[in-house]
Amino acid sequence: MTTLPDPDVYLYDPERCPFTATFNVIGEKWKGVIWWRLSNGLGRFGELRRAIPQITRKMLTQQLRDLQRDGIVRREVFDEVPSRVEYSLTEYGRSLAPVIEAICAWGGAHLARGASQRDRSGTAGRGA
């Protein structure tokens, strides 16, 4: 007879859950996109705004601050006139690469699956 583990093992504790910890850092709507843009060399605020036209100035500022707080993004202010600010990924931020790549791979497969299902059913599907 198999003995089941202690039921307390299955209690959700947000302070100790690795999934929650990960998504607290990158799970908000724009953080993954900002990370991806920074990983591809965009670093100025204006560049990020142009690359992600759907994000508001206020939201971009907040998301960058959150990513800084979590040690993912570095903000560097250059002593020039006019002043120049650049954002870049920290070493710790770059360590997210395999995580974000895996999420993107799954998302791509999910998008393809949805398109395939819509093609088979002949309907526009959800969100169309």
> Does residue 33 form part of some domain?
yes
Domain hosting residue 73, numbered range: 7-95
- At 66-112, the pLDDT tens digits run 999 999 999 999 988 888 899 999 999 999 999 999 999 999 999 99
Return the CATH number at 62: 1.10.10.10
- Give the per-residue pLDDT at 128: 44
> 0.75 exceeded by the pTM?
yes
pLDDT band at residue 1 under the 50/70/90 scheme: low
> Does residue 2 form part of some domain?
no
Count of domains forming the chain: 1
> Does residue 113 form part of some domain?
no
- In the chain, the amino acid numbered 17 is C
